[in-house]
Structure 1
Amino acid sequence: MPVAIDSTPANKPFADPRETPVWSLPLPSLDRAGDRLLVRLAASLALRQVRPIRNAERLLPAADPFILAVNHSSRREVVFLTALLMLLRGGRPVHFLADWNFRLIPGVGHLYDRAGAITIARKPARPAFLNRFRQAHAGPTTPYEAARRRLDEGRSIGIFPEGTVNGAADRLRPARSGAARLAIVCGVPVLPMGIRFAGTRDGGSRIDPSSPIEFVVGEPLHPPFRSERPGRLTVAGFKAQIMEGIAPLCGKGTAQS
């Protein structure tokens, strides 16, 4: 199965997707054969639904560290992105902030472990009896501290600024401030990414999560300056810039527009 990468000249760092199957791409950052197999299997499943990744060269490890800020339209895109980014980056992950209950899903939990996902243990699980496992998946530090440590170590992280799944076809939800604050505190760029679903339902008001998906990577957004304690207005201004960068990539309007 070919790798779903836009084969325009801008993406020449990658081999032609028509000639490079998932099972032949090197994964030098993954030492264990089982981990390589898991990533290839997950990526193969993702590519049944994912169309080419536009401007994928901006995701190469040479660009680390960065914050990948993505709109959040369905639950499956978290798994798809985790696997595809590891595949495209030679096994080097982008560490996504993800809800703890994903770790309860067989296979997905192991993929998150291998990708070094940053667990958010705030939301309750459904059904409720699963909440007894929540504390076991909580990290020793806050998600913010864990994300900052990875950025300080030169690694990249992924954040869904909307903070929850938003199936609306036309508008983003109001963003949380974590991506903007981390970028300013750590002095790293934000890469906006838009996720577009080809189909809609409910009269066009909701995305169809089973329809083909396209990932579009925008140009890096650099924080206005680096500051250990950025002011509220500074964070709010950069947060708005991030969401304005995501909006045209995913084909939605911002919450303010």
Structure 2
Amino acid sequence: MPPLYWLIKFVLLGPFVHTVYRPWIVGDENIPESGPVIIASNHLSFVDSIFLPLLVDRHIVFLAKSEYFTGTGIKGWFSRFFFSGVGQVPIDRSGGKASEAALEAGLRVLAQGRQLGIYPEGTRSPDGRLYRGRTGIARMLLESGATVLPVAMIDTDKVLPTGTVFPKLRKVGVVVGEPMDFSRFAGMEGDRFVLRSITDEIMHELSKLSGQEYVDVYASSVKNRAKPAVRR
């Protein structure tokens, strides 16, 4: 456990967040006290990775994008301090070999019997809807045998909408669903159709928990289409 984790959670940031934002959580009794667990969450805002670790009793390791450790300004300083302090693992999200390295990093966390947080969408929702999940989560759960818990973040996008720096005062919540059983697919981690089926099942459960409309395209594709064309 990172040495700064308890200090951040119970002394520095946790009391402030609970007092000012009064966040709520339901279903936390579904979280096992020990053993490898994958927390599969929707992703509405940068602050998802702040509220979720502070509200869940058991320590969560996130595979955080490397940009969270290299940013500038107030937001950059805060993200470096927080993510480093609570022991998050920086990863390269450029794809290819970087994706395989991220998968291996996640499997190492699970092999230690720890709790791993994953955003299956791969990026924040551009408009509040829930988008297609990446199948890496399915490979991890089949290769590790970890328990999978769907978790819905509620209204975090109202606290810190994409593109803003300073958070707003809004009450947010976390809904922890019941464990999902994929034991019927044991040993089939090499089957891409199985991986897609598992991932889609997780995403539809997240849609039910969060109340978000589900869109069967990747959020990254929507974001790329929204970027202005570069003049040559």
Question: Structure 1 pair 46/180, CA: closer, same or farther in 2 (3 Å)?
Answer: farther
Do structure 1's residue 213 and structure 2's residue 172 form an aligned pair?
Answer: yes
Rounded to whole Å, the distance in 1 between the matches of 2:151 and 2:108 is 23
Share of identical aligned residues, percent? 28
1:38 — aligned with what? Answer: 8
Question: Structure 1 pair 39/53, CA: closer, same or farther in 2 (3 Å)?
Answer: same
Do structure 1's residue 143 and structure 2's residue 113 form an aligned pair?
Answer: no
Rounded to whole Å, the distance in 1 between the matches of 2:22 and 2:175 is 11
Higher relative CO (Cα under 8 Å, sequence separation at least 6) belongs to 2
Rounded to whole Å, the distance in 2 between the matches of 1:236 and 1:251 is 22
Do structure 1's residue 172 and structure 2's residue 144 form an aligned pair?
Answer: no
Kindly state the Cα deviation for residue 185 of structure 1 after the two structures are TM-superposed. Answer: 1.5
2:23 — aligned with what? Answer: 51
1:212-248 superposed Cα distances (whole Å, 9 cap, x missing partner): 2110000111223322743011001100110011111
1:10 — aligned with what? Answer: none
1:21 — aligned with what? Answer: none
* TM value normalised by structure 2: 0.74
Where does structure 1 lack aligned partners over 5 or more consecutive residues? 1-28, 124-138, 201-208
Decide which moves more: 178-187 or 110-119.
Answer: 110-119
Question: Structure 1 pair 188/52, CA: closer, same or farther in 2 (3 Å)?
Answer: same
CA contact (8 A) 1:68 1:191 kept: yes
Tell me which amino acid in the other structure corresponds to 1:38: I
Secondary structure at the aligned position of 2:62 is classed as strand
Do structure 1's residue 160 and structure 2's residue 119 form an aligned pair?
Answer: yes
Rounded to whole Å, the distance in 2 between the matches of 1:121 and 1:219 is 31
Secondary structure at the aligned position of 2:214 is classed as coil
Kindly state the Cα deviation for residue 187 of structure 1 after the two structures are TM-superposed. Answer: 1.5
Kindly state the Cα deviation for residue 61 of structure 1 after the two structures are TM-superposed. Answer: 2.6
Do structure 1's residue 222 and structure 2's residue 181 form an aligned pair?
Answer: yes
Rounded to whole Å, the distance in 2 between the matches of 1:199 and 1:98 is 18
Aligned length: 197
Tell me which amino acid in the other structure corresponds to 2:29: E
Question: Structure 1 pair 151/198, CA: closer, same or farther in 2 (3 Å)?
Answer: closer
Spell out structure 1 runs of 4+ moving beyond 4 A.
none
> Which of the residues 61, 64, 77 maps onto 1:95?
61
Kindly state the Cα deviation for residue 180 of structure 1 after the two structures are TM-superposed. Answer: 1.4
Rounded to whole Å, the distance in 2 between the matches of 1:37 and 1:52 is 21
Question: Structure 1 pair 198/143, CA: closer, same or farther in 2 (3 Å)?
Answer: closer
Rounded to whole Å, the distance in 1 between the matches of 2:157 and 2:67 is 27
CA contact (8 A) 2:189 2:195 kept: no
Where does structure 2 lack aligned partners over 5 or more consecutive residues? 71-75, 159-166, 218-232
CA contact (8 A) 1:187 1:225 kept: no
Secondary structure at the aligned position of 2:131 is classed as coil
> Which of the residues 128, 135, 139 maps onto 1:181?
139
Do structure 1's residue 69 and structure 2's residue 40 form an aligned pair?
Answer: yes
Tell me which amino acid in the other structure corresponds to 2:135: S
Question: Structure 1 pair 198/231, CA: closer, same or farther in 2 (3 Å)?
Answer: closer
Question: Structure 1 pair 227/118, CA: closer, same or farther in 2 (3 Å)?
Answer: farther
Secondary structure at the aligned position of 1:193 is classed as strand
